[in-house]
Structure 1
Amino acid sequence: MSVSPVLDTPGAVRPARTWRLGSRLDDGGAALFVSKPFEPIAAALGVIALVVLAVLFARSAGLIAALWGAGGLAVGVWLRRDRGRTWDLCFAALLTMAIAVAEILVGNGFEQTVLFTAANMLEIVLAVGLARRFGDGLNLTTINGVMRFLATAVLLAPLPSAVLAAAGLGVLQGADVATTFLTWWLGHALSIAGVGGLILGLSRPEALRLRPPARALEAAVLLSLVGLLFYSIFSPWVAPVGVLSAPLALLVAVRLRFIGMSAAIILITTFAVGGSMQGHGPYAALFDGPGRAVMAQVLALVGYLPILIVVAVLEERDGLTRKAKAAQLRAERASDGKSRLLANVSHEIKSPIAGVIGIGELWREGKLGTTTETQVEMAEMLVKTARQIETLAYDLLDVARAEAGAVSVDLKPVDVPALLEDIRRSAILHPESQGMRIEIQPVSTRQVVTADSVRLNQVLSNFVSNGLKYGRSGGVVRLKAGSRADGWVRIEVTDRGPGLSEAKQAELFEPFNRLGMERSTVEGHGIGLALAKRLVELQGGRIGVDSREGHGATFWVELPAA
């Protein structure tokens, strides 16, 4: 008897840690084994039943056992428990006795019983040890977890036992070593992937996925279709419907995920290998008895086992989507809290600052009593500082409103050249404009955009103000507007200052980020550009900057032409 296909793939296992065979010296494993014996005893009885059925079916077909679920059952149950070395030893002893009893029940002699028991236990122990050591925590909902499980426990673990069984049967019975090796290896690999994967997939979240009546009915219908399809292909009638197998398997993977796909692979393997061993199906006329079984095993292993990777891709995508939505929700809540805080802070600042400004102006004008020149100067500094704080309060309030979506915009046609001229006239009255030229580059045609004139003026005035403050070394700030071929109008404000590096450009529109200028003599709070970005976006436009260090900077806004 040898080997094993049977079912396919891992389901959704979610152990909390990476397991290793004998990861703890003792944690009461023996006592636990005795006090809760149902699962290990049920597994042992299941192993006996599967061994007997596989061997009897193989003998009725005149072949070695190519359908084999016992190894997968043992590996799946074992991997669901991590109770320490004592529990592992007790369960291993129970499995050894179960396999030996099954071999005796089917009439095998002493040599065959020892050979098959040793080969099966070698495979089971290797599969458990490799899965715990390299299985990525046995998380079969990730691509990495599934790939490691398939590579180690499924494909690598049965190889030594296949070599042992093939060599032993060659000596004891003169069996063909190559055929026996392939049948054992492929069959047991399918068993661990299918039966073991199904057991590992029977976790509570996976079971709950099929709990609603509609989903349970859908699962029953899809799996019934899989069974009928492969029975038709590998029956005496050999129905030519094989072209439907791959789409149906993919549909099962998408809709039912690990549990459904594992059950589907069990059905596929059972009908394909079982029908081929009985001389039915597309391989009957092309191969002899052992060759038919091997080809059916290859079909199940190569044709449908990789679909488990598709399931893992879907599960990982869903997991990332859930994490992204949760992170987005947290970010939105944090943003709402920040906006409320900014609004409250700005509101609380405005009233006392207005009082400070009033007192400072009265003091500066001498209405609170006789003042000296020094006191007048101090009063002017007080008023100037208070007005800066007042401006900051209004900016904070605007930022909070913009982020909360509470800023309304009145979109109308706006004459761009006229707006630029208004901004220029206002800017030349500012103290920062002393010694600077503010120019408007002439345009050949009249530019009109759809925008809120007040908010657009606020954005462009901020650009000009920054150009006057940070671009003084160039001596000029130039305003320009031009139409684009795609129906947009681009408005630019250019200075000849020191420019910006790529790293600083990436941080330019972040609130309260002054790009290292907070220690300079240039006044500012670092929220003007962040507010400008939100205002432009509310008007349906785009904003950006083009700059190189040492070559000035061009801030631009693009808005749809009216």
Structure 2
Amino acid sequence: MPLSRALDLAEPASDAAPSRAEAPPVAQGASAFFAQPLVPILTAMGVLILVVAAINFARSAGLVAALWGAGGLAVAVWLRTSRDRAYDLCLGGLLAVGIMAGEVLAGNPPGLSVMFTAANMIEIVGAVVLVRRFAPTLNLSTVDGAIRFLMAGAVLAPIPAAAFSAIWLTVTAGADPLTSFQTWWFGHALGLAVFGAFGVSLTRPHLAVLKRPWRALEAALLMALVAAVTVAVFVMIRSPMGFAIIPVMILVAARLRILGTAAALVIVTLTAVGGAMAGVGPFSGPNVDLADRALMAQTMVFLGCLPIFLIAALLEERDALTERARLGRVRAEAASEAKSRLLANVAHEIKSPIGGVIGIGDLWKGGQLGPVTEQQAEMADMMVRTARQVEALAHDLLDVARAEAGAVKVDLRPTDVPGLLEDVRRTVALRPEAANLRFEMDCAGDGLVALADSQRLAQVIGNLASNAVKYGAEGGVVRFATRRIPRGVRIEVIDRGPGLTPEKQAQLFEPFNRLGLERSAIEGHGIGLALAKRLTELQGGVIGVESTPGAGATFWIELPAA
């Protein structure tokens, strides 16, 4: 059967509400089971083979099993193919038949076969119920999902069955209950963890990676490396060299993630436990009985190799978060580009008609359209001022759009910072709103020359000065300062206004954010500081603010020295 078809059969079907014409859920589940019986039948056959192999391999030492893979296979397939309660009943019955047949074929007497079949079914059903309860998504590609699956399906599920079998063997055969419980739990927990995790990881998204030839070749080479190192460490060498497999497992986790790590765990577990039970490798010795050898091999896999599965889950979770962040960045960049185009289009649409309004207002105010009264002249002047504000907004919008689109060109040349500050001071001082303010200059040192675009730098400082005039007018003073810093020049625009809280400082350079002053008497659009930040960065500088509520604000720019 093709692998894609088997995966189609193995994917759980979605639950849909039955219509009146549909059969009852039990009938639906049974019909689905009999319509696609290949996966359940193959699973039951696989369980039978694993039961026979495990019992025959362990019988020589009187052990139940050092590695019980039948439960892991049954749980993985059950979780992947489950549809509803009727399907569960049919599959559970088929698995019970497979386990019972394996017990009988392995030579166990009927009573013992029934007991072991019941214990195995308690374990398998318990694992399915616990995993559905605590890890319902079966997502082993996250650390949380992997831990939930291993804890629920491997650590907790074998406990009732181990207790049941220990009590039965103690009563009927006089076995030591602690040893019986320990042997059952370790072997079955390891089988559920390794084989169950591998089966659940065998999904289409994970297999899709192997469709690329180079990735498939890499996976084959890494699995061959795992097999070679595992055989050398756990079969050929009698010295305790089990730690040598850990770097190889980490390499597999880094390159192949969850599915590759699960496959490597199967190879390591089979080789380590099988070698220990066969009396070869580092766990063998003249004074070590078979039960202790198996226990040492199981402990090594549990503590040394199984945690690497969580590393693989962490790496895969990081990959998913990285991809999500990349897609988010792509969407954000697309949205930003669309916003920039919108701003540019709006600015262009505003500039043309507003120029006509300004021209008509100037003609009206100058009396060139006929005699005007004093009130009409005042209204014409107000119209022109408002239109010029809209025109300035249009220019700022266009600059913001160009800056975000990377279309603003800067011509970096040596720029005399004190002279530029004096020009900005004179320009700002002529504004009507600055009539009651005092402007101070503080240029510490000579040769304060920055590498900047003088026109764009003047625009940035002008925006900062306008901000200081509007929001810091009650302080009465606006101060311009500049001084040297290591490998650069620092420019400051200082006001004595109400200051800013840390929360508002964090939002200050966001476009169209007026920090809650939208309904205040202070005019503004919230783009001046955002534009200043972008223009400063284009000149290779940084911009920021230092402020304390009630103590004014200091806006600073640092630019490289010429």
TM-score, length of structure 1 as denominator length: 0.93
Alignment of 1:58-207 (within 5 A): 58-60=58-60, 63-207=63-207
Does the 8 A contact of 1:339 with 1:404 survive in 2?
A: yes
Query: What is the percent sequence identity of the aligned residues?
Result: 56
Alignment of 1:12-411 (within 5 A): 26=26, 28-60=28-60, 63-235=63-235, 237-238=237-238, 242-285=242-285, 287-411=288-412
Question: Corresponding residue for 1:418?
Answer: 419
> Which amino acid in the other structure matches residue 519 of structure 1?
R
> Which amino acid in the other structure matches residue 391 of structure 1?
A
Cα distance in structure 2, aligned partners of 1:324 and 1:103: 52
> Which amino acid in the other structure matches residue 141 of structure 2?
T
> Which amino acid in the other structure matches residue 512 of structure 2?
F
Structure 1: gaps of 5 or more residues: 1-12, 19-23
Cα distance in structure 2, aligned partners of 1:253 and 1:365: 81
Greater displacement, 143-152 / 216-225: 216-225
Cα distance in structure 1, aligned partners of 2:362 and 2:234: 98
Question: Corresponding residue for 2:21?
Answer: none
What is the CA distance between 1:242 and its match in structure 2?
Answer: 3.7
SS in 1 for 2:474: coil
> Are 2:535 and 1:535 aligned?
yes
Does the 8 A contact of 1:342 with 1:396 survive in 2?
A: yes
Cα distance in structure 1, aligned partners of 2:134 and 2:25: 20
What is the CA distance between 1:180 and its match in structure 2?
Answer: 2.2
Does the 8 A contact of 2:253 with 2:309 survive in 1?
A: yes
Alignment of 1:373-522 (within 5 A): 373-484=374-485, 486-522=486-522
Q: 1:149 to 1:14 in 2, by over 3 A?
A: farther
Does the 8 A contact of 2:445 with 2:484 survive in 1?
A: no
Cα distance in structure 1, aligned partners of 2:439 and 2:14: 66
What is the CA distance between 1:177 and its match in structure 2?
Answer: 2.4
Q: Whose relative contact order is higher, 1 or 2, with alpha carbons under 8 Å and at least 6 apart?
A: 1
Does the 8 A contact of 1:136 with 1:148 survive in 2?
A: no
Cα distance in structure 2, aligned partners of 1:136 and 1:538: 51
SS in 1 for 2:288: coil
> Which amino acid in the other structure matches residue 527 of structure 1?
I
What is the CA distance between 1:96 and its match in structure 2?
Answer: 1.2
Greater displacement, 145-154 / 56-65: 56-65
Does the 8 A contact of 1:232 with 1:238 survive in 2?
A: no
SS in 2 for 1:491: strand
TM-score, length of structure 2 as denominator length: 0.93
CA RMSD of aligned residues (A): 1.9
Structure 2: gaps of 5 or more residues: 1-9, 16-23
Q: 1:550 to 1:236 in 2, by over 3 A?
A: closer
> Which amino acid in the other structure matches residue 332 of structure 2?
A
Cα distance in structure 1, aligned partners of 2:206 and 2:343: 45
Q: 1:558 to 1:549 in 2, by over 3 A?
A: same
Cα distance in structure 2, aligned partners of 1:61 and 1:270: 18
Residues 456-498 of structure 1 deviation map (CA, whole Å, 9 limit, x = unaligned): 11111111111111111110000111222x3232111000011
Cα distance in structure 2, aligned partners of 1:324 and 1:169: 56
Cα distance in structure 2, aligned partners of 1:523 and 1:27: 73
What is the CA distance between 1:62 and its match in structure 2?
Answer: 5.1
Cα distance in structure 1, aligned partners of 2:524 and 2:291: 83
How many residues end up aligned between the 2 structures?
544
What is the CA distance between 1:121 and its match in structure 2?
Answer: 0.5
Does the 8 A contact of 2:510 with 2:530 survive in 1?
A: yes
> Which amino acid in the other structure matches residue 167 of structure 2?
A
What is the CA distance between 1:241 and its match in structure 2?
Answer: 5.1
Cα distance in structure 1, aligned partners of 2:89 and 2:216: 38
Does the 8 A contact of 1:456 with 1:536 survive in 2?
A: yes
Does the 8 A contact of 1:27 with 1:83 survive in 2?
A: no
SS in 1 for 2:559: strand
Cα distance in structure 2, aligned partners of 1:277 and 1:176: 20
Cα distance in structure 2, aligned partners of 1:352 and 1:14: 63
Cα distance in structure 2, aligned partners of 1:445 and 1:183: 85
Question: Corresponding residue for 1:7?
Answer: none
**Structure with the higher fraction of residues in helix conformation:** 2
SS in 1 for 2:489: strand
Does the 8 A contact of 1:227 with 1:268 survive in 2?
A: yes
SS in 2 for 1:306: helix
What is the CA distance between 1:97 and its match in structure 2?
Answer: 1.4
What is the CA distance between 1:136 and its match in structure 2?
Answer: 5.0
Greater displacement, 487-496 / 216-225: 216-225
Residues 388-418 of structure 1 deviation map (CA, whole Å, 9 limit, x = unaligned): 1111110000000000000011111111111
Does the 8 A contact of 2:238 with 2:284 survive in 1?
A: no
Residues 13-65 of structure 1 deviation map (CA, whole Å, 9 limit, x = unaligned): 997999xxxxx964711110111111111111110011011111112455432
Greater displacement, 256-265 / 441-450: 441-450
Residues 79-136 of structure 1 deviation map (CA, whole Å, 9 limit, x = unaligned): 0023111111111111111111111111111221121111111110111111111015
What is the CA distance between 1:159 and its match in structure 2?
Answer: 1.0
Does the 8 A contact of 1:14 with 1:139 survive in 2?
A: no
Cα distance in structure 2, aligned partners of 1:14 and 1:460: 63
What is the CA distance between 1:525 and its match in structure 2?
Answer: 1.4
Does the 8 A contact of 1:15 with 1:138 survive in 2?
A: no
SS in 1 for 2:518: helix
Residues 313-341 of structure 1 deviation map (CA, whole Å, 9 limit, x = unaligned): 00110000000000000000001101111
Cα distance in structure 2, aligned partners of 1:374 and 1:552: 39
